[in-house]
Amino acid sequence: MIATPQNGSGTIETQEICRHYTLGAAVIRAVDGITLSVKAGEFVALLGSSGSGKSSLLNLIAGLDRPTSGSATVDGHRLAELSSEELARYRRESVGIVFQAFNLVPSMTVAENVELPLRLAETDRGERSERVRRALDQVGLGERLAHRPSELSGGEQQRVALARALVNSPRILLADEPTGNLDSRTGVEIMKLIGDCNQRGMTVLLVTHERPLAEAYATRLLFLADGKMVAEQPNTPNRAESGAGA
């Protein structure tokens, strides 16, 4: 890939980005002309009710989907210009993604799940186990390497998913309702881990509909409704406060 000066910048920018779904005659404007800019090291929360287009926007930024119009420039890559091969490479090198549904491979052990991105990135075999262990240590699961996802609690599964997103050391973490399937206490644990990532310098884009969680960790809040950005406000995170409530 062409190394641009911005390569690995950790920034996210979108220009009038749109994602329309055509269902027969009807056109669903899931994302409808959003322009945003996230600086390196920021923790931005995307808030909005269900169906407001949060996931659709995140998928565009993650390079899992292509916009109907507009463009996104993430970590120095103009995504619209990348081939599908280059986009795959962008996904494994520049961003880490965490989903609401954990999305672990059930037939693989914890260690194998975390190793997957290293396999895809063709990392040397000798290096892999050490990196898997370090990523799992970061999320406090260094002792559960040989377990299957089904043997873990929801919170633990999401921590494995987070370790998997971090193992390739991307500059950007994209999280789509990572706490949506968890009770509030384990949700807070996950948010703390994501907050730690941000503290170490990662850019975080968090999709959530739980405003208190966003306010506890994010440095900026963006509000979506019907595919459009309706409000934007800076926020001073108060991590301690959220620990009790939420």
Partner 1 sequence: MKAPDLLELAVRNLRESVLRNSLTTLGIGVGVASLVAMVSLGIGLQQNTTRRLERSGLFDTVMVTRADAGGFGPRRRNASTAENQRVLDDNARRDFAALPGVLEAVPDIRTVAQIRYGDKPHRAMVAAVPMSAHDREAFENLQGSFFSSGSAGEAILQKSFAEELLNLSPEPADESEAGKPSPELQPLLGKELVMSYAARLSAPKAGSAQIASGASHSPATSQEASAPANSTDAELNPLLAAFSVAPETRTLRIVGILTADPDAVRGVGRARVFVPQDFAEGLQLMLPSDLGSDAAAGERTYLEISVRLRHPEDVPRVEESIRRMGFNAFSILDASRSVQTAFRIFDIFLAVFGSLALAVASLGIVNTLVMAILERRREIGILKALGASDMDVKLLFFVEAGAMGVVGGVLGVAMGWTIGKIINIGVNFYLHRQNVPPQTLWLVPWWLVFLAVGFSIFVSFVSGLYPAARAAKLDPVRALRYE
Q: Which residues contribute to the site for partner 1 (CB under 8 A)?
A: 59, 62, 64-65, 84-85, 88-93, 97, 99-101, 103-105, 107-108, 116-117, 119-122, 125, 164, 168
Shortest CB 62 distance to partner 1, Å: 7
* 28 binds ligand ADP per the rule CB under 6 A: yes
Q: Which residues pair with 205 in a beta bridge?
A: 44, 174
Query: Cβ closer to Mg ion: 37 or 49?
Result: 49
Query: Cβ closer to partner 1: 55 or 73?
Result: 55
C-alpha distances in Å from residue 230, one per residue of 45, 68, 153: 14, 20, 37
Q: CB count, 10 Å around CB of 104?
A: 23
Shortest CB 239 distance to partner 1, Å: 27
Shortest CB 234 distance to partner 1, Å: 30
* 52 binds ligand ADP per the rule CB under 6 A: yes
Position of tokens 């799940």? Answer: 113
CA 145 – CA 110 distance, rounded (Å): 5
Which residue, 1, 219, 185, is CA-closest to 93?
Answer: 1
CA 241 – CA 217 distance, rounded (Å): 10
Q: Which of 53, 67, 178, 195 lies at the binding interface for ligand ADP (CB under 6 A)?
A: 53
Q: Which of 17, 30, 191, 204 lies at the binding interface for ligand ADP (CB under 6 A)?
A: 30
Q: What is the per-residue binding string for ligand ADP in 217-236, x denoting contact by CB under 6 A?
A: --------------------
Is the CB of residue 114 less than 8 Å from the CB of residue 135? yes
Is the CB of residue 239 less than 8 Å from the CB of residue 196? no
Q: Which chain residues interact with ligand ADP by CB under 6 A?
A: 21, 23, 28, 30, 48, 50-56
